[in-house]
Amino acid sequence: MEVVACSMGSSSSLYSALAKTVSRPPLPHPRDSTYNLDQNLADPLELLQECREVLRNRPAQLQRALVQTGHGDSRQTIRVMQWNVLAQALGEGMDSFVQCPVDALNWAERKYLILEEILTYRPDILCLQEVDHYFDMFQPVLASLGYQSSFCPKPWSPCLNVENNNGPDGCALFFNHKRFQSLNTTHLRLSAMMLKTNQVAIIAALRCRDTGRAFCVAVTHLKARSGWEVLRSTQGSDLLRNLGNVAQRIETEEKADADVPLIVCGDFNAEPSEDVYRNFATSSLGLDSAYKHLSTDGKTEPPYTTWKIRPSGECCHTLDYVWYSHRAFDVNAVLDFPTAEQIGPNRLPSYNYPSDHLSLVCDFSFKDPTLVSQ
């Protein structure tokens, strides 16, 4: 647990709320965390201030605005964040960000950049990929803020090939325990052509405590790299099939009059031109991509969600998505993206942004139930 607190020892004024999160007992269960969520919760503004104090010698955080879409009831929003946070072992050991200084990636400070991003937007639901510090950073800190969580590691994580790694990376899903009740959690190892692959997903069935309505949220990270388009498509189809099965099971248990709605977040490692994107867009589950709301025509994805420079050259792609049941949810707002000038010529990650992927943040609200059942 020492990792979370290691850069705070030099300043007694900082050794407070963040440090206290690591004094808790070990997790009672290796996959899901539900313990001690209603006691001694930390102040998120205090934690955010601590992060900024630690980062005071780094460039300022990228400035981004929430763009209102003019849809839905903003009084009952569910804020969802999707983010590939960049596994520490991969960032330092395998990903070859040739324009990123090595010291910009040191975990002692980079973890505060990650927390700063999360605490700035304070999502109700947080879907993360490439998490390799779940047990010693993400879980204890976010539990101190009232998040219940679940972690599903990759079975053959590339992090394990890096010297001094912190264990396998995987997907993690967090939700605000005060706002949502957990009904069911499913961990998937995605299949392709009847074979289990190295990619995983988590599907959590939740009940909104304010409205009493049940819904499912999922997080995934599909196979990377060019040449694997068919495998990604098959993994996506497997995820869609499992989403349908889980939703149907919850509908039966809840005796629901309408389909249980879905929110699906992930790094799909696929541009909108790929089959896996088209399969989600045309699925019988009635999904749409929330970030199309940023475009002027309402039909186009952002020009990039990841932007990095590797030895092979500059890589600027749209790979990350937040899918949602458009018959059940309105999109109230989406977080815009920084410009090329704001990101800077060395691209991502950098001294002021901890990952090669930008976070996606969406505000949803439930539509009128009478409209959903039509």
Mean pLDDT value across residues 268-274? 98
3-class SS string, the chain = CHHHHCCCCCCCCCCCHHHHHHHCCCCCCCCEECCCCCCCCCCHHHHHHHHHHHCCCCCCCCCCCEEECCCCCHHHCEEEEEEECCCHHHHHHCCCCCCCCHHHHCHHHHHHHHHHHHHHHCCCEEEEEEECCHHHHHHHHHHCCCEEEEEEECCCCHHHHCCCCCCCCEEEEEEECCCEEEEEEEEEEEEECCEEEEEEEEEEEEEECCCCCEEEEEEEECCCCCCCHHHHHHHHHHHHHHHHHHHHHHHHHHCCCCCCCEEEEEECCCCCCCHHHHHHHCCCCCEEEHHHHHCCCCCCCCCCCEEEEECCEEEEECCEEEEEECCCEEEEEEECCCCHHHHCCCCCCECCECCCECCEEEEEEECCHHHHCC
pLDDT range class, residue 18, cuts 50, 70, 90:
low
Tokens of 323: 């899918």
pLDDT range class, residue 26, cuts 50, 70, 90:
very low
Q: With left for phi above 0 and alpha for psi between -120 and 50, is residue 167 left, alpha or beta? A: left
Backbone angles phi, psi at 155, to 5 degrees: -65, -30
Q: In this predicted model, what pLDDT tens digit does every residue of 48-91 receive, in sequence order?
A: 999 999 999 999 999 999 999 977 666 789 999 999 999 999 99
Tokens of 141: 């800190």
Share of the chain above pLDDT 90, in %: 82
Contact 364, 329 (CB under 8 A): yes
Rounded to whole angstroms, the Cα distance separating 90 from 160 reads 10
pTM of the model: 0.91
Look at residue 373 and tell me whether its pLDDT is greater than 70: no
Cα separations in angstroms, 170 against 85, 122, 198: 11, 22, 10
Contacts of residue 25, Cβ cutoff 8 Å, sequence gap at least 6:
none
Rounded to whole angstroms, the Cα distance separating 49 from 13 reads 11
Q: Would you state the pLDDT for residue 19?
A: 54
If one compares 224 and 30, the residue with the highest pLDDT of the two is 224
Q: In this predicted model, what pLDDT tens digit does every residue of 143-189 receive, in sequence order?
A: 999 999 999 999 999 999 999 999 999 999 999 999 999 999 999 99
| Gyration radius from the chain CA atoms | 20
**In Å, how far from its chain's centre is CA 43?**
22
**Strand 262-267 with 214-221, pairing:** parallel
Task: Encode 45-61: b = buried (16+ Cβ within 10 Å), e = exposed.
Answer: eebbebbbebbeebeee
Look at residue 294 and tell me whether its pLDDT is greater than 90: yes
Q: Would you state the pLDDT for residue 236?
A: 98
